[in-house]
Amino acid sequence: MKSENFNLKAYFSRIGFQGAASADFVTLKSMMRCQLCTVPFENLDVQNGKVVSLVPEEIYTKIVDRQRGGYCYEVNGLFAMALDALGIPHRFV
């Protein structure tokens, strides 16, 4: 999942990731833990009758810029954007 407005440094700040990042298991494990602890599963938009956007730029804005949580597709999409930025291969199944 690619996003034109994705900024890895801002994403790391949002999830509290510190240190050097590279395409390795140590970074992946740390990113997963950081995102799990800082970006909550949130379905407030669904409860308010709003349509959840799957547009990557809107997901990034909601979670990183607006400091919100996200629905499962949103938080997983954001993580995929970070993996893409680091060059870590992944696939949605």
Is 92 a domain residue?
no
Q: What is the CATH number of the domain that holds 62?
A: 3.30.2140.10
- Would you say residue 61 has pLDDT above 90? yes
Task: Give me the domain span that covers residue 54.
Answer: 8-86
- Exposed, middle or buried, 72 (CB in 10 Å: 0-12/13-18/19+)? exposed
Please give the tally of structural domains in the chain: 1
Residues contacting 38, CB < 8 A, separation 6+: 14, 15, 16
**C-beta of residue 90 within 8 angstroms of C-beta of residue 80:** yes
Flag whether pLDDT at 56 surpasses 90. yes
- 79 or 1, which is more confident? 79
pLDDT of amino acid 55: 97
Tokens 């938009």, residue located: 45
* Residue 12, in any domain of the structure: yes
| pTM summary value | 0.93
| Residue 2 within a domain | no
For residue 46, the model assigns a pLDDT of 87
* Phi, psi (degrees; rounded to nearest 5) at 53: -80, 140
pLDDT grade for 1, boundaries at 50, 70 and 90: confident
